[in-house]
Structure 1
Amino acid sequence: MTQRLLTLLCLSWLLLVLTTHATAAPADTHTAPEAQFRSGVTCLQNQDAACARLALNKIPSQSAYAKVLAGAIAVSEQDFDTAFSLLLPLHSSTTLHDEAAAILHSSLAIAYDNQADTLRALEQRTAAERFLQSDEQLHQHHTAIWHQLSTLPRDELVTIRGESPDTVVQGWIDLALAAKEQEGDALKNWPNFYPGHPAADGFSQELLTQRPTSPSGHNTTATTQTGTIAILLPFSVDMYYPVSDAIMQGFSAAQAQAGDHRELRIYASTDDPASINDLYQQIQADNVDMMLGPLTRDEISHLSQQSPPSFPVLALNQADDTADQQQNIYLYGQSLETEIAQIISTAQRLGMQSATIVAGNSPLSERMAQLFNVMWQDAGGHTITPPTPTEDENADSETSDAQPQANPNPADMIFLAANSEEASRIRPHLDTATPTFSISHIYSGMAQDPDNSALNAIRFLDMPWLLQPDAKQFSMFKEAASGLPPGEMQRWFALGADAYRILDHLNRNPEQALTFQGLTGKIEISTDGRIHRTLATGRFSTEGVILETMP
């Protein structure tokens, strides 16, 4: 019954689209097929399918306009199989005028509604929007999208949110999720995260004004935004000061975008992990709302030995043992294990079963290689040892890396455990015909770096912020991050920005799941507070670093 009601509502909306287009321009401004197409649309607007068929019979059967009109007729008669067979082949057509293209995608959306395929229907509606012109059409269109999404349960919204790489689609779903939060500023702040989204120009604000007010007369999304946020980072350690500063800049930028005016109070830890104990006692005494940090694993271990905090704590690393996560302490950071697990999943999805591991000579690269070896074999893969390496006689012993020789029995893939400098030295000695994968450490953060030329065709993982810095959804952070160098400091900035949104959510709705597209990737927070991050995929090419897939 519910599905039939939705179908009828969507058919009514399609008739509105047909109506607005049918009166958009005089018929004599079009060629014969277009004029007959418009006559058929007028018939459908009057709910006269027989009349529409007469117009259809006057259009050459091979014309795209004949197929679009026939598809619209099929939808009006709820013959959705016929609609799919006629319209799907035209999905990417660039020859239709705007009216026909809008009706094509709108008809497909209704057909997908009938299959209860919400995501495909939403994708078609966002495609149709490109061909709408008047404010009235756009508002009717946004209302139709909202009718589709607002009735879905949160779990279903979260599921389809994770299946779409399209930022417009993601924005609509996040808007629906934000509207379901009865407390907090999620709906109010949604435009800050999607400044170029079609709904950001007024529709989201219209939803905000329609939200019921509390008994006191204030909107339920309003907050006092008073209090204190503790920032526990190693500002007192020279090697960690730049990292701490970049995190702080990202966090404060996201806080400003959210309109949160709470005080950020810095508690600078030292190189003695035990200093965390005294700082933590001070933070508790200061009655803060929530806490960001600590940063290092040793500091997190010391913190976990203290009494559980009464406020949420977002630690920016993984603990040595995460099996028993302490109450109110949540873990989020740049983890080698997480990146390697994702690259293994990607490689195996592409059919890779065997791997050769090649590593640089730095301790971090060696650790990356060891982790990949263990995790690859745990996932069912097997490794092929490369031939005995040779050293470059002309290279400095402190900077030279082992140079693998050609292997007569190559593996399905190569995992290159190296930073950008090591990889540039190693890559020329590897078989370029063998797919090569790496993680974010291989990328310097400069898309047009000439030193990357040796790395062509290597696939790697990294944050969307580094792979697509000009994306509209990140535009509000560009100025705040402009003073930081490329690469690692930009990663820490992004981590800080997403940390604000995570921590603010955990403070407001600790038992509520959340998924959002952040600067660092797709962030998923479970109902028990476990945080999972999925990175974007990039590839080195002759044109520089390019984004392959968004999470």
Structure 2
Amino acid sequence: MTVRLRTLLSVPLISLLAACANAPSNTLGELPRTPQASIQQLLEKAGNSTSEEANMLRLSAADLAYKQHNLTQAKQILASLQLQQLKPVPQVYAGTLSAEIALTENQPKQALQALQQPGFERIAELPVEQQIRTSLVKARALEADQQQLPAAKERIYIAPMLKDPQQIADNHEAIWGLVAALPAEQLQAIPGNTELNGWLALVSLTRTNASLDQQIAAIDAWRAQNPNHPAALQLPKALAALRTTEQQPLNRIALLLPQQGQLANVSKALQDGFMASLYESQQEGTSPPAVIFYDSTQMRSLDDFYQRAKSDGIQLVIGPLEKSLVKQLNDREQLPITTLALNYSDTQDEGPAQLYQFGLAAEDEAREAALRAKKDGKHTAVALVPRGDWGDRVLAAFSREWQAQGGALLGAERIDQPVEIARQISRLLQNRQNGQSIDLIFLAATPQQARQINPTLAYQYAGNIPVYATSHLYTGTSNPAQDQDLNGIQFCETPWLLEPNNPIRRKVVAQWPQAASSFGRLYAMGADAYMLSSRLPQLKALPNTELEGLSGELSLSSTQRVTRKLPWAQFINGQVQPLTQPTPL
């Protein structure tokens, strides 16, 4: 049976409902059969003939070679065919097979190119099984080529044709995965595409700071408004999982922090920010969980702590802060209680399913600098970072993201002694003398170092090169007299320090004035830790969700690390001025 659905590129959705047509005519050709023969027997029977029957035998042989994972032989057989001389049906078959092979070899652009033969213009007239096979490989190729929206459209178009229950379910989940990964600017409704718009609206419901019960209520309202939409008839698994989470309210939290030693002041700021956010939530009418405090410096072992926490009825652990303890947790296969560590392990390896990690990672800021510079149209960069392990990690994060965005890193210097900075900058700028232009300087430095670096750049006639920096050059307090030497530098910073009118921030600063300085970043992290305590199931079920926190825009990576996107600011006349987001190129 042949279904006249659409051209491969696009047709109105109503054409998906077209009636069945007759079997392919002789002008279209036929699909290769699946004879009970070996590849060698098929090729021997085809011989040197160029007849249509011989070509069909070769196509059968190529498909058999592909299914046996003999890609080299499959490609050799396809290369022997004159595709332009084939009728539309075998031509589409050959192009689809070539695309499948290219995808197996991780060549999505080559796969998409293989789907451009003239015969694809008549795909709507082809047998339904071939339309499904072709459209599914095209959807996979588009997704592999980072074209999520076209891939989602392709899967939505093919959905009414599917009959196999497992294939239907897999396609349904794939559509959700594609639309859920779309950036915010691609979630706008598309005129005339009702079904796709329903998917986009559903995704938008998950991109808010709404609480779990609010989010579930919004999803239920969407289903009531769109009763016949595929996602209303069968919620994606990730959304269905939210109901299970709703039925398990969070009542008791452990705050595991060092109350003595070198980290005591840090943990005090985190704790105060956490409790301030809890009290603010309570004033808004919610019933916050009970919080029990544990001193990580006094516990004998993590096993003893978890045993005690379980006996205390703890459902979630916030902490520890010590990096060595986080590493121990990350090395375990599983944890007895879900845990949000307030630091990151050094390894990028995936930890136990019950472990989440959250901190003020400088690597997040380095990646943000690379993304910002790319959106600003920059192409070549040099870097100045502190000498030591911290600087190496920041530089590595910037370099990886910058090169992933297509940028070139021309050189880097590790700054250490103040007397050496001028010489190091001079050496870094030699790239210009060698004929290589420098579009930007990436800077990770203390306020004292940055105040020396910027005037040195001007002295060496490089003051016109934009500087993109991490937050570490900002003291957190306004000091125009000293910060004149930072003029022009762009840097990313927490919303806590850029938005002084935030209600929680105002209350915290009124009680603890040090929260208005760079120390405020820790209060912001503590406040966000409380917000995350009730949102971890949502972030896990909906990994593309972004929460507007006080330490940044928060999301969850595939390794369950909370990552931050930060707003940007610039020093102008010694004062910090927020910057708007650049327009994507």
TM-score (norm 2): 0.52
Secondary structure of 1:539's counterpart equals strand
Match in the other structure for 2:445: 418
CA distance in 2, matches of 1:476, 1:444: 20
Bigger drift between 243-252 and 360-369 goes to 360-369
Match in the other structure for 2:290: 263
Matched residue count? 354
Secondary structure of 1:488's counterpart equals coil
Task: Please report the RMSD computed on the Cα atoms of aligned residues, expressed in angstroms.
Answer: 4.2
What is the deviation of 1:276?
3.7
Aligned letter for 2:253?
I
CA distance in 2, matches of 1:231, 1:423: 36
What is the deviation of 1:425?
1.5
Alignment CA distance shift 1:117-1:459 (3 Å): closer
Which of 156, 180, 183 is the matching residue for 2:204? 156
| 1:74-132 CA-partner distances (Å, limit 9, x unpaired) | xxxxxxxxxxxxxxxxxxxxxxxxxxxxxxxxxxxxxxxxxx998699xxxxxxxxxxx
Alignment CA distance shift 1:118-1:365 (3 Å): closer
| 1:350-393 CA-partner distances (Å, limit 9, x unpaired) | 2222112123457644553454345544554333348999987x
What is the deviation of 1:467?
1.2
Which of 277, 301, 322 is the matching residue for 1:296? 322
Bigger drift between 369-378 and 322-331 goes to 369-378
Secondary structure of 2:351's counterpart equals coil
Unaligned runs of 5+ in 1: 1-115, 122-148, 162-172, 184-220
What is the deviation of 1:321?
2.9
CA distance in 1, matches of 2:252, 2:378: 50
Match in the other structure for 1:49: none
Aligned letter for 1:251?
F
Which of 366, 370, 379 is the matching residue for 1:344? 370
- Asked if 2 retains the 8 angstrom alpha-carbon contact of 1:389 and 1:404, the reply is no
Alignment of 1:182-261 (within 5 A): 182=217, 227-237=251-261, 239-259=262-282, 260-261=287-288
Alignment CA distance shift 1:299-1:177 (3 Å): closer
Aligned letter for 1:249?
D
Alignment CA distance shift 1:289-1:324 (3 Å): same
What is the deviation of 1:153?
4.1
Match in the other structure for 1:476: 504
Higher radius of gyration, 1 or 2 = 2
CA distance in 1, matches of 2:445, 2:214: 44
Alignment CA distance shift 1:388-1:490 (3 Å): closer
CA distance in 1, matches of 2:384, 2:216: 48
- Asked if 1 retains the 8 angstrom alpha-carbon contact of 2:494 and 2:567, the reply is yes
Alignment of 1:333-412 (within 5 A): 333-360=359-386, 364-365=390-391, 367-369=393-395, 371-373=397-399, 375-377=401-403, 379-385=405-411, 404-405=425-426, 407=430, 408-409=432-433, 410-412=437-439
Which of 308, 331, 343 is the matching residue for 2:334? 308
Alignment CA distance shift 1:544-1:287 (3 Å): same
CA distance in 1, matches of 2:186, 2:394: 41
Aligned letter for 1:539?
Q
Match in the other structure for 2:531: 501
- Asked if 1 retains the 8 angstrom alpha-carbon contact of 2:446 and 2:473, the reply is yes
Match in the other structure for 1:7: none
What is the deviation of 1:535?
0.7
What is the deviation of 1:269?
1.9
Unaligned runs of 5+ in 2: 1-184, 191-196, 219-244
CA distance in 2, matches of 1:538, 1:336: 17
CA distance in 1, matches of 2:482, 2:341: 35
- Asked if 2 retains the 8 angstrom alpha-carbon contact of 1:456 and 1:542, the reply is yes
What is the deviation of 1:429?
0.5
Is 1:466 aligned to residue 466 of structure 2? no
Secondary structure of 1:299's counterpart equals helix
Alignment CA distance shift 1:527-1:154 (3 Å): farther
Secondary structure of 1:181's counterpart equals helix
Match in the other structure for 1:332: 358
- Asked if 2 retains the 8 angstrom alpha-carbon contact of 1:236 and 1:270, the reply is yes
Which of 513, 537, 547 is the matching residue for 2:568? 537
CA distance in 2, matches of 1:307, 1:434: 48
Alignment CA distance shift 1:542-1:403 (3 Å): farther
- Asked if 2 retains the 8 angstrom alpha-carbon contact of 1:447 and 1:544, the reply is yes
CA distance in 2, matches of 1:544, 1:446: 9
CA distance in 1, matches of 2:321, 2:405: 29
Aligned letter for 2:257?
L
Alignment of 1:34-73 (within 5 A): none
Is 1:517 aligned to residue 538 of structure 2? no
CA distance in 2, matches of 1:441, 1:451: 15
Bigger drift between 423-432 and 366-375 goes to 366-375
CA distance in 2, matches of 1:477, 1:534: 19
